[in-house]
A and B are shown apart, each in its own frame.
Chain A
Amino acid sequence: MNSNLRKKGLTDAQVGVLLILPGLAVFCAIILYPFVNAILMSFTDRSLLMPNYKVVGLENYIKVFSDPYFGKTLITTILFVIGSTLLPFTLGFIWAIILNQGFKGSELLRGITLVNWIIPGTAIGFLWSWIFNGQYGILNAILTRTGLLETGVAWLGQTNTALICVIIARSWQMLPWYMAFLLGGLGGVPLDQVEAARVDGANNLQVFRYVVLPSMKTIILLILVLGTIGNLQHFDLPWTMTQGGPARATTTLSIDVYTTAFDNWNIGKAATIGTIWAVLLGLFSFVYLKQVKDSD
C-alpha cells in the first residue's frame, strides 16, 4: 500500500501521517480527551448534582493539600503499593525458581497457579473477606480451634491488620502474573554462565546473586514498574473488602477518587485527586523507565 501511495505522489512523511491518523484519533478520543477534561474539571466546582458549574481556580488543590486526611491517604497508598508489589514479586520469584527445576508435574502446577490471576477481582475480594471475617471467617476458625487464638479477631475491622489483609489478597491475586514473567526470564538465563560459576565453586545463593539476577535485571525492572503502576491504579480489592475502612486505614487514592465522585458527588475535587494521582503515577513511571533504559 505504501508503494501505491508513493506512486500517487505522497511523500514518506505524508504517508506516515495518514498511517498514524486512525491510531492518533483513537488515542485522542479515549485517552487524551478524558485526561485533559479531567485536568480542566479539577479547576471547577463541578458536581453530579448540578448541571452548571464554575471555574474555581486552585481552590480544589488548596482544599485537598490542606486536608490532613489526604496525607494519610497518600501514605496508605504508598504502603499498599510497596506491599502489593514486593510481596507477590518475592513469592512469585521463589515459585518461579521452583517451577523452573522442571520436575514432573511442574507444568501442571504452573497452569494451576495461573487460576488466581484469572478470577475476577471482586470475586477474590469476597473470597478473602470471608476468610478474614471476624465472625465466621475460616482464618479465625483455624486459629481458635488450634488454640493459637483464644477468641476471633476482626481482621478487617482493625486499623493495624486491615491493610495487611488487603495486601495479602492482592498478592494472592497477582503472584501468578509475576511468576509467569519471571519464569520466562529464568528460561533466558545463560546456562553456560551458571555452569561456569558452579565450576568456580559458587553456591546456589552466589549463582542467584551474581549470575541469575544480573541476567534478569531488565525483566525484573519491567515487572516492578508495571506492578507498581497496576497497584497505584488498583481499586477492586480494597473496595470490596473494606470500602477504605476502618477509620480510613485502607483508603487509597483510587478509593478516595471514587468516594469523592460517587458518594460526595464532588467531581471537581475527585478530578483534583485524580490529577495528583496521575502526576504520581507519571513520576514513578518516569523514574523506573529511565532505569530500564539506562540498564540497556
Chain B
Amino acid sequence: MKKRLVAVTMAAAMSAALLAGCGSSGTQTQENGAAETSAQASGNGEEAAGETAASGGENIVWAGWSGEEEASRDIFQRMMQTYRDETGNDVTWVGWTWADTAQQLLIRSQGGEQLDIAQVDIGIFNTVQQAGLLADLNEVLGEDYMKETFQQSTLDVGNVDGKQYGFPWSMASISMVYNPEILAEAGWEEVPTTLEEFEQCLADIKAMDPEIIPYAVSTKDDTCAGDFMPWLWTFGGSLYGEDGSVTVDSPEAVECVKWYQDMLGKGYIAMDVGRGDARQLFAQGKVAFYDDAVLAKGQAVSNGVAPEDVVNVCQAMLRPVKNEGDTPQSTMWGHMLVIFNSSEHKEAAAELAKTLVSDDVALEYFEENGMPPVTNSAAELDEVKNDPYLSTFSASTATARLEETARMTNASEIKSIITEELQYALLGQKTAEEAVAEMGSRMNSAQ
C-alpha cells in the first residue's frame, strides 16, 4: 500500500512539475540568463547575458534592429567594442527586424527577460512608453547633462508629460529623395518645388522612360500611411483636430486621395510598392523620387550603388508645395535610445548611450551610414555642418511634424485603416469621398 502511494505520488509530482515548468518559463529564463556568463556579442541573434562580464564589469543587453541590417552591422560591432574598451563592461546585442522590434520589446519585457537599453524609432518609442516600461532619463543621467548635450527640440521628441524617456541618437525628417541623373535626362536641372511642377516632372520622366516609376510613394504596408500624412498636410488636411477629434473626412483629404488616384491612373505611382521596394528600385535607377529618411544614401549603397557614385544618384529635396510660399511638409524621423525601468544596470546602460553619442562614434556613424548626430558638439563638427545632403534634411527638419499618430497607443491600427482605405480608393473599389468618409468613421470607432 505504501509503495503504491509512493508510485502515485511520484506520478502526480511528475505531472505537476510538467505543468509548473510550463507556467513559470518566463521567470526561469530570466534566472538562467542571469546565471550564464556573457559571451562577446557577435551581433547575430540572441546570446545569453550575464550579471558579470568576463572583465569584471557589468553586462548589459542592448536591443534593436539596425545591428541586424547589412548596412550597419559592422559599425554596431565597433560601437560595442568601443564601449567595452572604455568602460570595462560588456554588452550583448539582441536584434530583430524593424517591423518586429516593438512586439519583441513588449514580449521580452513582460516575459521578465533581461533588457537594459534599446534602439527605438518614434513609433516604437510611443508603444513602449505607453506600456510603462521606460525609465526617466533625467533621473538616470541628470537633467543638466541632457540639457547641455542636446537641443531642446530633439529632447522634446522623447519627452512625455515632463519626463525624458527618450535619449536622442539620430534625428532628422522623412522628406523626399531623387535621382539627379534621371531628372537631368528628363530635362530637369532643378527639383520641382510646387505640385504643378512636380506633376510635370513626373510626366516628363514617364515620357522619357516608361519603365521608370516616376514617384515610388508607398502604396502598401505601414509606410503607406506614413507617406500619405505629409501629402495630406500639403493639401491642407489633417487626421485629427487640435481637440483630438477625427477630421480626416474633409474636402482636403478627398482632394489628396483624388490626386493619388490621378497619379496612379497616369502611371506616375505604382501599386504594391513599399519602402523596401522603393529603396531597391531607386538603387537600380528605376525610381526617380521616393520618400525616405536621411539614411536613404546608406540604403542606396547597401542596395548596390558604389559609395563614390551615390552622390550622383541620390539627393535630398524639400517636398513640393501646393501653392508657392507654402511650407514644405515632412514628418519627424529619428532613432532614440531608451533605458528600461526593469533594468538592474541603468548606469551601465546610460554609459553605452553616452558612448554612442560621443563625437568620434557619432561622426563615424554619420560618415558610414549617413545618420546625423544630435549632440550640440557633434553638430558643430565641420564634416557634419558642411554636408550638402544633410543640409537639405536639416532644412526640412526645421518644419517637420510628428506623425499625427505618433503619441497614440493604437497608432498601428489607425495606420492600417488609412492604408486600407487608400488602397480601396486606388484600386477603384471606393470613390475618394467614400474612402475618406470610411477612413473617418473607422478612426472614430477605433478611438
Contact = CB atoms under 8 A, between A and B. Distances in A.
State yes or no: do A and B come from one complex.
yes
Interface of A: 5, 8-10, 18, 21-22, 24-26, 28-30, 33, 48-51, 133-136, 151, 154-159, 243, 245-248, 259, 262-266
A248 B420 contact: yes
Contacts of A48: 103, 106-107, 110, 131
B114 interface: no
Given A22-B14, A49-B127, A263 B413 contact: yes
Given A18-B11, A48-B106, A263 B416 contact: yes
Nearest to A129: B272
Contacts of B156: none
B35 interface: no
A8 B5 CA distance: 11
Contacts of B210: 151
Contacts of A155: 272
A133 B272 contact: yes
Contacts of A263: 412-413, 416
Given A159-B427, A264-B412, A246 B272 contact: yes
Nearest to B430: A247
A33 B410 contact: no
B286 interface: yes
Contacts of B12: 21
Contacts of A49: 106, 127, 130-131, 409
Contact of B22 (A29, A134, A157): A29
7 contacts: A24-B15, A51-B110, A135-B270, A135-B281, A245-B423, A247-B424, A259-B416
Given A28-B19, A263-B412, A157 B271 contact: yes
Cβ-closest 6 pairs across A and B = A157-B272, A157-B271, A25-B15, A247-B423, A154-B271, A154-B272
Nearest to A251: B420
Contacts of B420: 245, 247-248
A51 B112 CA distance: 13
Given A18-B11, A264-B410, 7 more contacts: A18-B8, A28-B19, A48-B131, A157-B219, A157-B220, A247-B423, A263-B412
Contacts of A266: 413
Interface in B5-34: 7-8, 11-12, 14-16, 18-19, 21-22
B4 A10 contact: yes
A135 B273 contact: yes
Contact of A134 (B19, B271, B424): B271
Contact of A29 (B4, B19, B132, B213): B19
B255 interface: no
Interface string B96-138: 0000000100110010000000000000000100111000000
B396 to A, nearest CB: 27
Contacts of A262: 103
A96 to B, nearest CB: 35
Contacts of B213: 135
A96 B132 CA distance: 57
A221 to B, nearest CB: 35
B131 A50 contact: yes
Contact of A246 (B1, B130, B416, B427): B427
Contacts of A25: 14-16, 18-19
A49 B128 CA distance: 8
Contacts of A136: 281, 286
Given A154-B272, A157-B272, A9 B1 contact: yes
Given A50-B131, A157-B272, A246-B220, A264 B110 contact: no
